[in-house]
Amino acid sequence: MAESYTETAFRNGYEFAQGTGYELPLYPFQPPPELASGEPSHHQVVIVGGGISGLTAACALAQYGIAAVLLDEDNTVGVKGAASRGICYTQKSLEIFERLGIYDRIAAKGIQWSVGRTFAGADEVYSFDLRQQSAFNLSTQPPFINIQQFYIEGYLVERLYELGQVDLRWQNRVTAFAQDNECATLSVTTPGGDYQLRADYVIDATGCHTPFRQWVGASVTAKSGDDRWCIADVRFSKHPPVERHTWIEAPFNDNRAVWQHLMGDNVWRIDYQMAPDADPAELSREAVVRDRLTRQFGADAGVEIVWVGPYAYKSECVDRMRHGRVFFMGDAAKVVSPFGARGGNTGIADADNLAWKLAAVLQGQAAPALLDSYHEERHEAARQNVLVTNRTTRFLRPATRIEKLFRDATLSLARQYPFARQFVNTGRMAIANPYTRSLACDRSGGQSVQNVAFQWADGSTGQVNDLLRWADGRLLVLLFGVSSPAALLRLRVLSETAPVRCVQVVGGEDPPGAREHVRDPQGHLQGACHVFGHAWALLRPDSYVAATGESVDASLVHAVGQALGATLEEEAP
């Protein structure tokens, strides 16, 4: 399989093809062994859907040593003949991709940016630089990278073949599903015939048209809108600035909104808001699109159209993200308007959240009850993202006269007064969602930890992801400050009786007699963990704080048990 994949992927490639749009890799169909045996096979995890969420989940599981099967009904990444799709990837997603081993390729191909400017007519009414904001300024990854979604999916596929834990099955479409107390059973059709397989757990990453919602009886809270857009992927001979530009009332688009982003391959993504009753076929005609581009960039911009297509935004969210053995993920779980890059990025976070929990349970390191926290945490994040993006939608296309008056007043004031600019809502940029209602975090936890840098004991530079890789799927205790021998002994006993690794974090000086320690001379690591002074922070494999505390005592043992969905008894040193 690896040989045929390599030949296919690197022969076809998936670089931008001049004059022909996007050229995607093709992966070969391999007859599953069940076709020859005639018997269903049994697997711990089956992932359905080879989009960005499903591939991220598969890659994370593989790094934790969990074998899985991934079924995808297509034979490529992205969507044949379609656009770049998701393009803005947040710092949290980039940190996850660094942990999975594909960040360097993303950084080499994509476009880093942190500055955004918002215009109303010809006036700039709002601007920001994310590098100056505390939510982004400590990580070794930038605030955002713009890159076409199919590139990331392709990098994940290549990484999966390197890791070798996941059986990637292309052109395998699930046609039926059932589950009981013993297992889940999936019926699959392929070009070579039909077969069945069984699984302990199923991850549904098949997108918003998933059949699993009906198969398990999942209810959905949805809101359809009439906000229509035309997306154009283009190249220019005369380049605009490498910044995120947004127009709320663009004079070159009939005073409707416009987005402008640079992606990889010097391709620009331009989103034009259309009238609610616009004809999608008409607004996507090349002559119409070229006229719109000429009005925006001028006749001498040297426009080359790569792809054009209409889009209608909506929001929906399943009411439960777990149904028995099935976990909904990505667009299968929720769909949000893309304002602020809260779509695909939340699917990546879904995958990162679930993968470590499944691995911990399947490897006997955590109680099965831990899996329920997936819904608690990621449904809270989904609802928050739906709420935030719906507010942006109403600002960009006011639904009532009062909303239009509010927007007009906001824009008028923002032109003159800085205080009003915070109310200009063209998309609140996505950050890692906090968890406030999870059984796997106590009240002191639930915050994401940026991938900050520190110093190893030998003076070399490390980052939080290095510590998480060292912990190898276990919980990580960071003890800040020089600690007593008794505290260090408690930590050693804890690491011998629970799936925990412990490390002491000091300032610039090496502590006397310390075995495993790192240096944090600027306090960035401690600040990223949201603690101060002599304290400890319990980190989960997804780089979230499960709990914090001041004393190394029974509270730490309790926090470890809570993060694992179990109750631990402290063993005396």
Mean pLDDT over 481-492 rounds to: 79
pLDDT at 225: 67
Using one digit for the tens of pLDDT, what is the confidence trace for 392-407? 878 888 888 898 899 8
Mean pLDDT over 66-70 rounds to: 97
pLDDT at 568: 61
Reduce the DSSP state of residue 541 to 3 states and report it. coil
Tell me: pLDDT of 156 over 70: yes
CATH topology of domain 453-563: Glutaredoxin (3.40.30)
pLDDT at 570: 53
Higher pLDDT, 44 or 428: 44
Higher pLDDT, 443 or 62: 62
pLDDT at 494: 84
- Whole-angstrom CA distances from 195 to 48, 73, 135, 203 are 15, 14, 48, 19
Backbone angles phi, psi at 419, to 5 degrees: -60, -30
Under the banding of pLDDT at 50, 70 and 90, the label for residue 82 is: low
pLDDT at 11: 28
- Any idea how long the chain is? 573
Using an 8 Å Cβ cutoff, are 315 and 337 in contact? yes
CATH topology identical between 223-314 and 453-563 = no
pLDDT at 554: 85
Tell me: pLDDT of 14 over 60: no
Higher pLDDT, 481 or 547: 547
Under the banding of pLDDT at 50, 70 and 90, the label for residue 512 is: low
Tell me: pLDDT of 197 over 80: yes
Mean pLDDT over 20-28 rounds to: 78
pLDDT at 9: 31
Tell me: pLDDT of 430 over 80: no
Give the number of other CB atoms < 10 A from CB of residue 546: 25
Q: Are strands 68-72 and 166-170 parallel, antiparallel or unpaired?
A: parallel
pLDDT at 514: 55
Tell me: pLDDT of 124 over 50: yes
pLDDT > 90: what percent of the chain?
Answer: 52
Under the banding of pLDDT at 50, 70 and 90, the label for residue 8 is: very low
* Helix (H) / strand (E) containing 464: helix 464-471
Under the banding of pLDDT at 50, 70 and 90, the label for residue 412 is: confident
What is the residue-averaged pLDDT of the chain?
Answer: 87
Higher pLDDT, 514 or 369: 369
pLDDT at 571: 52
Q: How many CA atoms lie within 13 A of 543 on its CB side?
A: 30
pLDDT at 572: 44
Under the banding of pLDDT at 50, 70 and 90, the label for residue 135 is: low
Higher pLDDT, 89 or 566: 89
Tell me: pLDDT of 7 over 80: no
pLDDT at 83: 60
Higher pLDDT, 507 or 163: 163
Mean pLDDT over 56-72 rounds to: 97
Least confident stretch, 117-121, 177-181, 339-343, 487-491: 339-343
Using one digit for the tens of pLDDT, what is the confidence trace for 415-424? 888 888 888 8
What residue has token string 């989103």? 271
CA distance 88 to 256: 22
157-161's contacts with Cβ under 8 Å and 24+ in sequence apart are 157/9, 157/25, 157/27, 157/50, 157/55, 157/77, 158/9, 158/102, 159/59, 159/100, 159/101, 159/102, 160/55, 160/58, 160/59, 160/62, 160/70, 161/1, 161/2, 161/5, 161/6
Under the banding of pLDDT at 50, 70 and 90, the label for residue 513 is: low
Residue ranges per domain, the chain? Answer: 223-314, 453-563
CA distance 434 to 449: 10
Using an 8 Å Cβ cutoff, are 230 and 283 in contact? yes
pLDDT at 423: 85
Alpha helices in 164-256 (DSSP H): 212-216
Tell me: pLDDT of 332 over 90: yes
- CATH 3.30.70.2450 assigned to domain 223-314? The reply is yes
pLDDT > 70: what percent of the chain?
Answer: 92
Tell me: pLDDT of 15 over 60: no
